[in-house]
Each structure stands twice: as structure tokens, then as C-alpha cells.
Structure 1
Amino acid sequence: MGWGKEHDSNFDPTDILQRIQTAHSVQLDRWAVTTKCDTRSLGFRGAQQRMFMYNYMSVGVDAQVALNFHRTRESRFYLFSHRIFNKLLYLGFGTQQVVERECKDLDKRIEVYLDGEQVNLPSAESIVILNIPSWGAGVKLWELGLQGNEDIGMQSINDGKLEVCAIYSSFHIAQLQVGLSQPHRLGQAKIVKIKLLDSYAVQIDGEPWLQNPCEFVITHCDHASLLKSNQN
């Protein structure tokens, strides 16, 4: 934690080793994500799959952009691997979603429950579940616009709670990345349940896929030990 979102290709190994020596150990919540597939007209009976989440999970437009980028990189026609080109390609897919809006009306095709209570959703194209502060290339999503607002709980990586936000659109993501907006905070919870009533892109810790209708249940599992840099 706190090592930065990326490293320059000319990084100094000695500096990294020195930072490791002075780093301190922290505990990070580890979450189990149980998927119940919808095999009989949204009856949610069928095969179950269990995955684990350390950083974040999302359903909707940001996962769709990640999925489009992933598919392009997996294509045999993909010939570039330079970081700048990849960033431009990612930007292109994000801009595409501003126009095409593949995840429009997501709020009408998804149900979100926090500790057993269904929450009202705004018009949104993405639902983001956070375990760590950083999301979307380093955006401190939950912290945006929190200054002076004591009614909203602070975020911690080891408090046994998740933060859940709604994102309005791909353009809203661009605003968040430059600090011109804030997310729609749905709340904090120890158990998060999501009922997906249609097929949408989903990602866990940056790994995207296209998910058919299902039910996700996210529960606390245990902890992982990490080294946190003292220079950040």
C-alpha cells in the first residue's frame, strides 16, 4: 500500500529496497465474493462460484471499458505494448462509452443491498464496491468531497466494512479523475448483495468479464498482511 499507481521504467532498485526496509506491516481486509448463477428465470438456483476481492469490484461502465481494453489486448491483431499507447487506447474506450452508453439504465437492471437493506439507486451506469481508497488510476473515490462532512463514515482498509458508490456515466468518471465531481455514495456495509438482472461487464481487482444475470454476495473472509510505504 502507498507505493504509487505505477513506476517509471528507470526506477532505482536501491531506492525500492530502502523503502521496503522502512515500510511497516498493515492488515488488509479480504473479501469472499460468492456468485449464484441465475439458471431458472431469476430463481438464483444453480452453480455457485467463490472468488476473493482485495481492492475493489464494479459493475457497469468502468468494467465495460476495462473489458473492451482487455479484449483488444488479447486480440492477435494487437501489436503495441507501450504504456502511452495503452493509456490512449483506454482513453478511447472511455470516450466511446460517453457516446454509446452501453450501460445506460443500469440502475433499472440491478438491485443493491447493504447489510440486508435495499438501497435506492440514482440514474447510474456503474456500481463500485471499495475495499481500498484507490480506484480508477489512483482516484481516492470515497474521499472526494468529504472535507468537513462528518455525517459520512471514514474509510479504512481493515475495519470489516466496504464502501459502495454509484457512478453516473463515463463522463462522470472523467470528472472524478480530475477532482471536479464526487461519487454518489450509497453507504458502508459489512455484507453487500447485488442482484444483476441482465448481462453486464463486471470486474474484480481489475480483471473484467461479461457476467450473465446472477446474484453476488460479498462477505468478510479474513485479512492479508501488506507492507505500507512510509514515504506516501
Structure 2
Amino acid sequence: MPSKSLYMYNYFSVGVDAQVALDFHRTRESRLYLFSSRIFNKLLYLCFGTQQVVTADCKNIQERERVDLYLDGKLTPLPELESIVVLNIQLWGTGVNLWNMRGDSSTQSYKDGVLEVVGIYSSFNIAQLLVGLSTPHKIGQAKTIEIHLKATAPLQVDGEPWEQTPAIFKISLVDQAVVLVNKKN
């Protein structure tokens, strides 16, 4: 099987959030796409997210025939989910702090060499997360993450979506870059 390297700076996801991003991406590439206003684009995202509430294309992504998740080499059991998100940043989406929404004691740092993995229940759950009415499922933290994709599914790396055929993804820290942080927050 051929091997390809991808670099994730912020996040990697498989499931419903990637499906919504992929639908939006395909629409923008269409010859029929005439608008490029921020409000119209947000409405498109809302429409695609609402469509996923009804169709639930990524429902039960954890089922044996679709995705297996390994954190530091251990197969991790998953609840019913529609998306798995690997984070290397604190703020995801439009500024949602997925890892610390529950206020528990586990810490998150972009410089500790550990990645955070969360599960999202549905596109409706994403809408709830955006306004602080829900929390994601904390799956765990790990230095190495393997995602065994056993069926074609939507994926995205740092907001760039595509449809992926079965593959194995190995995610780990490669290097670090210096970033500017606003200490006022």
C-alpha cells in the first residue's frame, strides 16, 4: 500500500464535521456557486449541518466496520459518535475549547507533545458546542494516535476536507514551531 505524509498543525477529524466542510467545499468549487459573502457562506454551513441532522451520514462512525482508534497503541472503545477530532490546539471551529468544556483537571498544551482526542455526537451537537449548551465526549490524550479507517469516509486536516478510502493514519508530533500567544486572555 502506498504511503503519503500529511502535516496537521491544528486538527484532524473524521466524520460529520468533515462531511459538512466537504459539502461546503464542493459547493464552492461548483460552476453554479455565485456568492462569496461571509453571511451566505455561514448560511451554507448551517444548511449542510442541518442536512446532516436529518441524513446522519456519519452515524455510529465507531462501528467495527468503519473506524478503529488506537491511543498510544491501545484500542480505545468508543460510544456512538459521528465524528472523531484530534486536536493540537485549544480552540476549534469558531473558537470552541473542546478539551476544557467540562472544566475537569486534565490539562491541554500545544507544547507538551500530547494530542487530545474528542468525539462529537452529531452535527446538532456541533451547533450546541458553538453556543456552550453541550460538551463533546473526551476520548483521551496520547503521544501517538492511529486511526484505522475501514470504509470510505469524509476527513479534514486543518479545514481542508476530502473523501478518503480505507487507510491507516498515524498521528504524532513531528516538530514544533514558535507561535505568538496573547497573554491578556
Quick one: distance in 2 between partners of 1:192 and 1:157?
Answer: 16
Secondary structure of the corresponding residue to residue 49 of structure 1: coil
Structure-2 residue corresponding to 1:137: 94
* Counterpart among 28, 40, 59 of residue 14 in structure 2: 59
Query: Displaced runs of 4+ in structure 1, greater than 3 A?
Result: none
The one-letter amino acid paired with 1:66 is A
Name which structure has the greater RCO, CA cutoff 8 Å, separation 6+: 1
Q: Does 1:159 align with 2:112?
A: yes
Runs of at least 5 residues in structure 1 that lack an aligned partner in the other structure: 1-45
Cα deviation for residue 167 of structure 1 reads 0.7
The one-letter amino acid paired with 2:94 is A
Q: Does 1:126 align with 2:79?
A: no
Quick one: distance in 2 between partners of 1:115 and 1:96?
Answer: 35
Cα deviation for residue 230 of structure 1 reads 3.9
Cα deviation for residue 56 of structure 1 reads 0.4
Quick one: distance in 2 between partners of 1:87 and 1:103?
Answer: 21
The one-letter amino acid paired with 1:179 is G
Structure-2 residue corresponding to 1:21: none
TM-score (norm 2): 0.96
Cα deviation for residue 220 of structure 1 reads 1.2
Q: Does 1:197 align with 2:150?
A: yes
Secondary structure of the corresponding residue to residue 69 of structure 1: helix
TM-score (norm 1): 0.77
Q: Which aligned pairs between 1:200-215 and structure 2 lie closer than 5 A?
A: 200-215=153-168
- Mark the structure with the bigger radius of gyration: 1
Render the CA deviation track for 1:111-132: whole Å, top value 9, x for unaligned: 0000001111000000000000
Render the CA deviation track for 1:91-144: whole Å, top value 9, x for unaligned: 110000000111012110100000001111000000000000111211111111
Q: Does 1:227 align with 2:185?
A: no
Quick one: distance in 2 between partners of 1:136 and 1:170?
Answer: 12
Quick one: distance in 2 between partners of 1:229 and 1:155?
Answer: 17
Runs of at least 5 residues in structure 2 that lack an aligned partner in the other structure: none
Quick one: distance in 1 between partners of 2:184 and 2:30?
Answer: 39
* Counterpart among 124, 127, 152 of residue 174 in structure 1: 127
CA RMSD of aligned residues (A): 0.9
Question: How much identity, in percent, do the aligned residues show?
Answer: 58
| Matched positions, count | 183
Cα deviation for residue 174 of structure 1 reads 1.0
Quick one: distance in 2 between partners of 1:87 and 1:77?
Answer: 17
Render the CA deviation track for 1:20-46: whole Å, top value 9, x for unaligned: xxxxxxxxxxxxxxxxxxxxxxxxxx1
Quick one: distance in 2 between partners of 1:166 and 1:228?
Answer: 27
Render the CA deviation track for 1:50-93: whole Å, top value 9, x for unaligned: 01111000000000000000000011110000001101111110
Cα deviation for residue 231 of structure 1 reads 4.2
Quick one: distance in 1 between partners of 2:90 and 2:181?
Answer: 13
